[in-house]
Each structure stands twice: as structure tokens, then as C-alpha cells.
Amino acid sequence: MSGNSVIEMVDVRRYFIVGDFVVKALDGITMDIRQGEFVSIMGPSGSGKSTMMNMIGCLDRPTSGIIRIDGTNTTEFSERDLAYVRNEKIGFVFQQFNLLGKLSALDNVMTPLLYARISPRERKEIAIEALERVGLGERMKHRPNELSGGQKQRVAIARALVNNPSLILADEPTGALDTKTGNQIMELFEQLNAEGRTIVLVTHNRELGMACRRQILIRDGRLED
């Protein structure tokens, strides 16, 4: 069912020095997530979930250990290489949507494609297709403040899809939504997963976390079983 490793961590540590203290945000994580999986990362506040997401998303580097994305060791990558991995392989979805307020839904969804070597016309076609995919074909001209919370998150998901990422990373994607809207967003992730996309979701919400195919539980920077 599941294929190759999309993410592999080997004894990953991330220590922060704060004054005289060392905060061990991640303290020896070894795990892997395979192509086509739908995984939640759960754990108490301060347990290291966002730190782990930042590692997986190439937004931060480990203090020690190895991280492989699609089989490639990213540990020695330059900032530029990491930016390339982020742009090519990872679609990000955040709690607060992170949409650009002055741009239409369509323009927001097109932004990740600005760096791709494709024509403006093709960019538009891909973005329209992504918006239709999330059920927002009728809202392309709307700006974020003319959309509901759930619609904004759909735009953000469409934006995460346009580069055809091997991995979708979502940190509390339903945290700013009411239960019903949150469930609709979860359904959308389930559909995307059924189409073969790998999804990693951080959530405080036990019900949503348990709805994922597998749970990674973290406490004090270590995995729990």
C-alpha cells in the first residue's frame, strides 16, 4: 500500500539554548513516513510538534541527526537548497491560512508558481484547476476578506497543491475553524490522501488526530508508543 519513504528522521535532536538552559525540543527522534500515508502528530503543548514540523518542512535545521526527504539527506543543504526542497516537494497549510490580503483567491494560489519555469497562461490554468479541486471554482476573484474561514483554508490548500508536492504539511489547519467547517477540511484532506498524496497533520484535537490513518505521539521531544 505505502511506497518509499517521503520523510526519514534518524536520531534527530533540536536543542535551543536559552540563557543558561538547554531546551531539548526534539531529543532523539527516529521515524519515517511513507508515500501515501496520512499521519497525525499529536502531543501536549510544548512537546515539540511544531519543531518537528519545521524540521520536516525544511524551515529549520536539526542540532544533530539526519533528515532525508524523498531519500535525499538534507542535513548539509545550503539555505538555497532547502528553499528549493520546500518549493518543489512540500505544500504548507497553516492555522491562520497565511493568504495575501490584497490578492484574489486565484492570485494567491498562483504565487508558488511564480518561481516555476512555466508560462503565465499555464500558471493560471493550474491554479484554476486547484481551486476547482477544492470546490472554489466560483470564488476565484474573491479576496480573502470576502471569504469564510473554511473557504480561506480551501484557498490555502489549493495553493499548497499547485506545485504537485509529494508531501502536504498542515500545522493545526482546523484550529481557527468551527467544528463543522473543520470536519469539511478534514474530508478534503481525506480525499487528497485517497488520491495518493502524503499528508502530515499536527493537531491538538484528539478526534481529528485519531481520524488519521496513523498517529505519531510526541512528549518532551521524544516519541511515545
Q: Phi/psi of residue 106, each to 5°?
A: -60, -45
Q: Distances from the Cα of 135 to the Cαs of 57, 138, 201, 220, in angstroms? A: 26, 8, 21, 39
Q: How far is the CB of 218 from Mg ion (least distance, A)?
A: 11
Question: Binding marks (x or -) toward ligand ATP, 35..74, rule CB under 6 A?
Answer: --------x-xxxxxxx-----------------------
At its nearest, how many Å lie between Mg ion and the CB of residue 50? Answer: 3
Distance from C-alpha of 69 to C-alpha of 6, rounded to nearest angstrom: 5
State which residue, 50 or 75, has the beta carbon closest to ligand ATP.
Answer: 50
**DSSP characters for 135-200?**
T-GGGTT--GGGS-HHHHHHHHHHHHHTT--SEEEEESTTTTS-HHHHHHHHHHHHHHHHTT-EEE
Q: Are 14 and 77 in contact (CB under 8 A)?
A: no
Residue closer to ligand ATP (CB basis): 46 or 196: 46
- Binds 43, which of ligand ATP, Mg ion, none (CB < 5 to 8 A, cut-off by type)? ligand ATP
CB of 71 to ligand ATP, least distance (A): 26
Q: Annotate each residue in 11-50 with x if it binds Mg ion (CB under 5 A) or - if it does not, as one string.
A: --------------------------------------xx
* 25 lies in the site for ligand ATP, by CB under 6 A: yes
Footprint of ligand ATP on this chain (CB under 6 A)? 16, 18, 23, 25, 43, 45-51
